[in-house]
Amino acid sequence: MGEHWAVIGAGMAGLAAARRLNAAGLAVTVFEKSRGLGGRMATRRAGGFRFDHGAQYFTARGERFLSLVETLSAEGLVGRWGEDHVGMPGMSAPARVLAPQATVVGECTVSSLTGGAHGWSVSTADGPAATEGNGTFAGVIVAVPAPQAAPLLASAGCSWDGAARATYAPCWALMLGFPARTTLSQDRLRPGDAAIAWIARDSSKPGRDASGDAIVVHATPAWSREHLEETPEQAAAALLARFRELTGETAEPGFAAAHRWRYALVEQPAGAPFFWDPAARLGACGDWCIGPRVEAAFDSGDSLAGAILGSNPAR
């Protein structure tokens, strides 16, 4: 193996970067705050149902992303939902195979990055992460949402302000599990409502369980902002009431819960596909560089890794 790199964040952007660095023979350790991989390509199993409560589906237009999606489709991890693509059996499924050679350190919230004589160190609130290679990483990639990337980049002594410029809309997501099939007339619906932006019958996606209905409701950015600090119980009750009014559905859900995405969809991107400082060997990527899409996150992480390899004589 060549150099050893650190990637902070195991969403599509960080994993795409890790994948490309691994493919060029570099070792990568990925630090991830959560237990699972995939970030906002998220799947929750609860109450006997499976919900994609973050990204609903994704498009694949660019050559490199299309090629990855074709590989994942051949492996049965991506399928078609109408014209669009979804992970199978859930949106988080592709994340687990994106960078199989990378070492993943889960449940590790990185709070600062320090450059030293022998390389980069990655620290949490408890001090330097006790992980092989820490203190000697050849470079670091920050692949977390912009409001979380800005302080990490600042801790590394970086003065680039792109992460501070990018903004996100929040989103309250309501997950509803019905033991029997509901009367919803369509599998996906944009009702044009002030409170609810999107209703999806997740159970209509390929590879899902056929019994009952798993439904995901996304609130609009305006409603989510207005109700941002409510409890999940309050948000769930309000969104369920509006869901009933809009759809006429009267059945009682066997499971209902709300999840708040504080940083859901990029509203104002940084305007550069990635950030890369070849002297410091510090990079940043994510959907916030380009736009609010899974493919944008892939493009950002993949192209940052391409730039690193292009400026890395040791590869």
Ligand X SMILES: Cc1cc2nc3c(=O)[nH]c(=O)nc-3n(C[C@H](O)[C@H](O)[C@H](O)COP(=O)(O)OP(=O)(O)OC[C@H]3O[C@@H](n4cnc5c(N)ncnc54)[C@H](O)[C@@H]3O)c2cc1C
Residue (63 or 252) nearer to ligand X, CB: 63
Confirm or reject binding of residue 113 to ligand X (CB under 6 A). Answer: no
Q: Answer whether 281's CB lies under 8 Å from 140's CB.
A: yes
User: Which x/- pattern, by CB under 6 A, does the window 256-295 give for ligand X?
Assistant: -----x--xx--------------------xx----xxx-
Q: If you write DSSP's letter for every residue of 43-65 in order, what string do you get?
A: -EEETTEEE--S---B---SHHH
Q: Does 72 bind ligand X (CB under 6 A)?
A: no
Structure tokens at 248: 């006429």
> Which backbone phi and psi does 259 adopt, to 5 degrees?
-125, 135
Nearer to ligand X, 179 or 230 (CB): 230
Strand locations in the chain (E)? 4-8, 27-31, 44-46, 49-51, 78-81, 84-87, 103-105, 112-116, 119-124, 127-128, 139-142, 167-178, 188-189, 196-201, 213-219, 255-268, 275-277, 282-284
Asked if 215 touches ligand X (CB under 6 A), the answer is no
Give SS3 for 222. helix
The answer to whether residue 110 forms part of the interface with ligand X (CB under 6 A) is yes
Q: Give min distance, CB of 166 to ligand X, in A.
A: 11
Q: Which of 33, 64, 96, 165 binds ligand X (CB under 6 A)?
A: 33
Quote the tokens at residue 241: 């009431």
Map the footprint of ligand X across residues 130-149, applying CB under 6 A: 143-145, 148
| Closer of 4 and 40 to ligand X (Cβ) | 40
217 touching ligand X, by CB under 6 A:
no
Residues at the interface with ligand X (CB under 6 A): 8-14, 31-34, 39-41, 54-58, 109-110, 143-145, 148, 171, 173, 218, 261, 264-265, 286-287, 292-294, 297
